[in-house]
Structure 1
Amino acid sequence: MPSRRHRLLPLTAAASLTLLTLTACSTGAAAPGPDAAPVEGGTIVYAHQQEPSCIFGGWIEQAYISYQVLDSLFSLDEDGEVVPWLAEEWEVSDDRLTYEITLKEGVSFTDGSPVDAEAIAYNFDYWVEGGNSTAAVWLGGYYDRAEAIDELTVAVHLSRPYTNFIQNLTQGYFGIQSQEALETRTDEENCAAPIGSGAFTVEEWNRGQNVILARNEAYTSWPANAQHTGPALVEKVDWRFVSDPTTRVAALQSGEADLIYDVPATSWQSLDDAGYTLEKYVTAGRPQQISFNTVQGPFVDEDVRKAFAYALDRRTIVETIGQGVIPFEGNGAVSQATPAYSQAAADTYDYDPAQAVALLEGAGWTEVNDEGYRVKDGEVLEALLPYGAGSIINTDGASILQAVQEQAKAVGFKVELLPLSTAELWGGKYSTPDAYDLSVGYWTAINSGILYINWRPSTEENPNYSNSSFYADAELEALILAANSEPDAETQADLYAQAQELIADRATSIGLYARLSTLAVSPGLRGVWQENAQGGPTFYDAHFVE
């Protein structure tokens, strides 16, 4: 029998330069006053840096845009608390294995079909059966089944307790789609224009250029932490894909775009001085970090991994290139924005090139060739580091990796940086132990439960492609599993901290910098906010002023 009911009380709501010559609604940085009158309607021109393969899916770039179209069961407020969206309340059983979720009444998808318990249960099964890879790994190892109890009550059954289960559902990967659309339309149709109950619908997708989002005039299911009620305030959002950061900044400054994503560190201060509103969200979860291949190549040796960590003055690199905008992050497991963060793990490796040299020589890398690289048994100490150029790693990140390459060379590592296109990155070629020595990347999350995704041992029966170090350790897995199921917050935090410290002690991953979601917004546009689960832009409350 369910024993704990959680009533979710609503909160009080008060490409190219050619492409960018299309009509925008702002006129640069001429700032209206604080009491400027709102303008009804209009089209927001938004310059984003990457184009996804589908409007929804398992990549954060897909979650950002699907968040405008697909409502979720829950939203996350600025204090990290779960608040209503499509769901009104939830109840958990005594054994913490069944969650009964009660839905709002009278909500429909934009195809007219009902947002009911059957549709919600269908979405859970759809995710784990391949409909969304990231939703699937968040549910993996815990999800058993979902069933409609009645029209507005869905029961989600877990195979073992997961304390942060409801909180995890606030991520954009868990946007709810029309069951009717998923069952009757083709995968291609749902990819290009998924049917949700959200504030906007996909009107048109011009591949390589933009997506036009149109206001859902019948919108009734805003989240409790929204700033108004009713349909969205603007008529449309012109979501453009502009990969070059200089072009995005120029478009904002000229008034050709109303706001831009991924603000370069070099432009931050000048945009601030010019009166643009700057928003910076440090994403929780795994930061931008370097993982070591622990099963093949030079980093099988723990001392060589530690030598690489000691060789780098990571803080100076990030603070110099990041110009005070990009935060340094020493923890390779979770970022400082993540609950249960361990500072001890972050502080494990200070810059100590002498210690790096001593470890390398102790590991047998005693010779140095004419180029300054260390040699052992005739083999150069080489390390291949592929990275997603312009996708996982932006321009600032690429500069940070180049500085890492230079500092590692000073103690004898030959690091080869290999920039990959998006197709190459996701194609699978660089995902196996024989494909790289070092890996760089992030994984956004709300809590330290991300540790299970990134460190669960991979087996032939249940491979884990998110374990980029290929590290398997029974003690680490036991700590993470115990933390995920622990109901006491203080005990849970301690278990997660122990896991982070083990990861640091074994030198399987080292942090570089916090992964950011940044916006620069013209003064004439108000009400844009970054949702609190992943930091994506939210346009439901956005409006122009004059």
Structure 2
Amino acid sequence: MNLRRMARVLALAPLVLSAAFSDVRAEERTLRVSLNTELQVLDPIVTTINATRVFSYLVYDTLFAIDEQGNYKPQMVDRYEVSDDRLTYTFHLRDGLEWSDGKFVTAEDAVASIRRWAQREALGVQIMRVAEGLRVVDPRSFELKLREPYAYVIEALGKPGNVIPVMMPARLANLPANTAVPEVVGSGPFLFDHTNWRPGERATFRRNPRYRPRAEPASGLAGGKDVHFDRVDLISMPDQATRVAALQAGEVDYLEIIPADFIRLMRRNRNVTIAKPRGAGQIMSIISLNHAQPPFDNVRIRRVAQMAVNQADIMASLGLPEDLYLRECYALYMCNTAGETNAGTEIFRNAGAERARALLREAGYKNEPVVFLHSESSALLNPMGLVMVDQMRKAGFNVQLATSDYATVAQRRLNRGPTSNGGWSMVNIIWNGIDLVNPLANPGVAYNCAEHYSGWYCDPRQTDLLRRAATARSEEERARLARELQAAFHDNVNYILGGQFSAPAAYRSNLQGVIEFPIPIFWNMSRR
């Protein structure tokens, strides 16, 4: 978008927005938010869509939570003990926790919630594989007993993304894990106003009077979730320019992601603050390959595709200021983090389209169609996808572009069949950095040989490495196995890394106490 069009959109903001916001109550204690994706599914166990993750942390709570430094802290848990042999974990819930329906939270609820989550999440599957038992001790205590040590129990119960281990009443948690629960009953800081939910228009949340925040200061997803707004409205605005105009006019307070075209302009606006995420607070661009179908069932052809990718060009397509992306990053656990490593990255030396083209025929490619699912409606996926397609074509792949909206792409991505029957070959997606720092939770390796996870990569070496990492006894051993996992990831080409960048939030400068985190957080903040 050129500057003249930007200026025109912003100048007309009040006229454009007056009708859209005519029925929003002008309360001082109402926070108005625009997310990057629509809220459609109200159960974080059956979907990994980011809007559902935001929803989850509003209405639900977790046993443990991650803070701004990446440390896992007790949240619903008051205290816990680990036996000397590291086989028995005993958890004690905080006193007085209540569900939004007025009933008290019990250990039975926690056990049922863990079991439901573990059916859908790789870390949960791994824990249950080595679990001897998970049982209620008393109304506020429960015990996890293992057959062999597992190094990431606390990190699993506090993981912030993909399938989130939220707590629900046992009567809901005991329902099938592949179907969304029929009602929303949580113990989080907000209540969901289901009656007035208008999908595609607005979702409203109200402060939960039954919620009891922890005494510690808020940090990331951990600590005391003190709520200073009576109400949070998630307002649907598909058009990117309209979102920015709404922020400019003060009709919304917070944008989950500000479009790259507007960042430089908004940085000059003293009424708007642009967040500055770094390291695990950034995003990794990903190319997902269909390992179940030709041509990418052939590891040699996957390696050629990997070689053809130029991250600098993909990142440049976003139009971001240079301080908001890295020209190159091949670290599976994100660059500029404690887990960053160059293990396995020697294969990227002398890479490029020219070398990839020279090796493609040698790899056994027979000019099979490569169907690339392209999300035209996404401000992030659209430009990156077009550059990726161009790079693949320059390398000699017969790429067929399948353009649609993101929802259609997300649904088609579940099709494991051949391209002639509605299947696919490549699709670009994004992963939040906060989900990548833990090797056993990182989707790049954690779903190895998992039948239900799109892409269907499977490498026996990684199965063994994951098992050994789960039982590692020291930080040094954990780090060594993490390096070996990254090397195996690149060698097998589970996915292709497209580059690391920021998709920063933007918010009105009269908000204070904003916790800048990869996930939008609406506690702790207030309006001056």
- Range into which the TM-score falls when normalised by the shorter chain: 0.7 to 0.9
Aligned 1:442-481 pairs, distance under 5 A? 442-444=430-432, 445=435, 446-451=437-442, 454=445, 456-458=447-449, 463-466=450-453, 468=455, 470-481=456-467
Aligned counterpart in structure 2 of residue 268 of structure 1, from 263, 285, 309: 263
Deviation of 1:443 after TM superposition, in Å, equals 4.6
* Distance in 2 (alpha carbons) for counterparts of 1:309 and 1:244: 33
Aligned counterpart in structure 1 of residue 250 of structure 2, from 245, 248, 255: 255
Indicate conservation of the 8 Å contact 2:376/2:403, yes or no. yes
2:288 maps to a residue whose letter is S
Aligned counterpart in structure 1 of residue 67 of structure 2, from 53, 77, 80: 77
Identity of aligned residues (%): 22
Q: Provide the secondary structure at the position in 2 that maps to 1:343.
A: coil
1:537 maps to a residue whose letter is P
Aligned counterpart in structure 2 of residue 519 of structure 1, from 493, 501, 505: 505
Are 2:244 and 1:238 aligned? Answer: no
* Distance in 2 (alpha carbons) for counterparts of 1:87 and 1:353: 52
Are 2:275 and 1:279 aligned? Answer: yes
Q: In the alignment, what sits opposite 1:335?
A: 334
* Distance in 2 (alpha carbons) for counterparts of 1:158 and 1:243: 47
Q: In the alignment, what sits opposite 1:7?
A: none
Q: Provide the secondary structure at the position in 2 that maps to 1:362.
A: coil
Q: In the alignment, what sits opposite 1:32?
A: none
Deviation of 1:432 after TM superposition, in Å, equals 0.9
Q: In the alignment, what sits opposite 1:395?
A: 379
Q: In the alignment, what sits opposite 1:308?
A: 305
Indicate conservation of the 8 Å contact 1:71/1:176, yes or no. yes
Indicate conservation of the 8 Å contact 2:372/2:389, yes or no. no
Structure 1 residues 504 and 441 mapped into 2: Cα distance closer, same or farther (>3 Å)? same
Indicate conservation of the 8 Å contact 1:327/1:513, yes or no. yes
* Distance in 1 (alpha carbons) for counterparts of 2:466 and 2:173: 35
* Distance in 2 (alpha carbons) for counterparts of 1:236 and 1:452: 34
Aligned 1:393-432 pairs, distance under 5 A? 394-427=378-411, 430-432=414-416
Q: What per-residue deviation string (whole Å, max 9, x for no partner) do you get for residues 139-173 of structure 1?
A: 01322443221222121234543312212322351
Aligned counterpart in structure 1 of residue 165 of structure 2, from 174, 177, 184: 174
Structure 1 residues 362 and 107 mapped into 2: Cα distance closer, same or farther (>3 Å)? closer
* Distance in 1 (alpha carbons) for counterparts of 2:181 and 2:94: 24
Q: Provide the secondary structure at the position in 1 that maps to 2:462.
A: helix
* Distance in 2 (alpha carbons) for counterparts of 1:508 and 1:63: 25
Deviation of 1:332 after TM superposition, in Å, equals 7.5
Q: In the alignment, what sits opposite 1:358?
A: 358
Aligned counterpart in structure 2 of residue 219 of structure 1, from 211, 236, 246: 211
Are 2:143 and 1:149 aligned? Answer: no
Q: Provide the secondary structure at the position in 2 that maps to 1:206.
A: coil
Q: In the alignment, what sits opposite 2:125?
A: 140
Cα RMSD for the two superposed structures:
3.2
Indicate conservation of the 8 Å contact 2:381/2:429, yes or no. no
Indicate conservation of the 8 Å contact 1:117/1:151, yes or no. yes
Structure 1 residues 440 and 474 mapped into 2: Cα distance closer, same or farther (>3 Å)? same
Q: In the alignment, what sits opposite 2:371?
A: 384
Aligned counterpart in structure 1 of residue 486 of structure 2, from 500, 503, 510: 500
Deviation of 1:265 after TM superposition, in Å, equals 1.5
Number of aligned positions between the proteins:
484
* Distance in 2 (alpha carbons) for counterparts of 1:388 and 1:146: 42
* Distance in 2 (alpha carbons) for counterparts of 1:188 and 1:355: 47
Aligned 1:91-106 pairs, distance under 5 A? 91-106=81-96
Structure 1 residues 272 and 22 mapped into 2: Cα distance closer, same or farther (>3 Å)? farther
Q: Provide the secondary structure at the position in 2 that maps to 1:250.
A: helix
Q: Provide the secondary structure at the position in 1 that maps to 2:158.
A: coil
TM-score of the aligned structures, taking structure 1 as reference length: 0.79
Q: Provide the secondary structure at the position in 1 that maps to 2:306.
A: helix
1:353 maps to a residue whose letter is A
Aligned 1:121-132 pairs, distance under 5 A? 121-128=111-118
Give unmatched runs, 5+ long, in structure 2.
1-15
Deviation of 1:285 after TM superposition, in Å, equals 11
Deviation of 1:431 after TM superposition, in Å, equals 3.3
Deviation of 1:214 after TM superposition, in Å, equals 0.7
Structure 1 residues 65 and 309 mapped into 2: Cα distance closer, same or farther (>3 Å)? same
Q: Provide the secondary structure at the position in 1 that maps to 2:206.
A: strand
1:484 maps to a residue whose letter is A
* Distance in 2 (alpha carbons) for counterparts of 1:182 and 1:123: 5
1:317 maps to a residue whose letter is I
Indicate conservation of the 8 Å contact 2:314/2:499, yes or no. no
Deviation of 1:511 after TM superposition, in Å, equals 0.4
1:354 maps to a residue whose letter is E
**Of Structure 1 and Structure 2, which has the larger fraction of its residues in strand?**
1
Q: In the alignment, what sits opposite 2:149?
A: 161
Structure 1 residues 86 and 223 mapped into 2: Cα distance closer, same or farther (>3 Å)? farther
Q: In the alignment, what sits opposite 1:368?
A: none
Q: In the alignment, what sits opposite 1:50?
A: 37
1:395 maps to a residue whose letter is A
Q: In the alignment, what sits opposite 2:190?
A: 200
Structure 1 residues 183 and 128 mapped into 2: Cα distance closer, same or farther (>3 Å)? closer
* Distance in 2 (alpha carbons) for counterparts of 1:263 and 1:201: 27
Deviation of 1:23 after TM superposition, in Å, equals 4.1
2:169 maps to a residue whose letter is S
Deviation of 1:450 after TM superposition, in Å, equals 2.7
* Distance in 2 (alpha carbons) for counterparts of 1:457 and 1:344: 19
Indicate conservation of the 8 Å contact 2:43/2:52, yes or no. yes
Deviation of 1:485 after TM superposition, in Å, equals 2.0
Are 2:97 and 1:107 aligned? Answer: yes
1:221 maps to a residue whose letter is P
Deviation of 1:235 after TM superposition, in Å, equals 0.8
* Distance in 2 (alpha carbons) for counterparts of 1:159 and 1:388: 45
Deviation of 1:53 after TM superposition, in Å, equals 2.6
Indicate conservation of the 8 Å contact 2:34/2:256, yes or no. yes
Q: Provide the secondary structure at the position in 1 that maps to 2:288.
A: strand
Indicate conservation of the 8 Å contact 2:325/2:500, yes or no. yes
* Distance in 2 (alpha carbons) for counterparts of 1:286 and 1:480: 24
Q: Provide the secondary structure at the position in 1 that maps to 2:78.
A: strand
* Distance in 2 (alpha carbons) for counterparts of 1:296 and 1:285: 32
Higher relative contact order (CA 8 A, sep 6+): 1
Q: Provide the secondary structure at the position in 2 that maps to 1:383.
A: strand
Give unmatched runs, 5+ long, in structure 1.
1-15, 27-40, 366-375
Deviation of 1:339 after TM superposition, in Å, equals 5.0
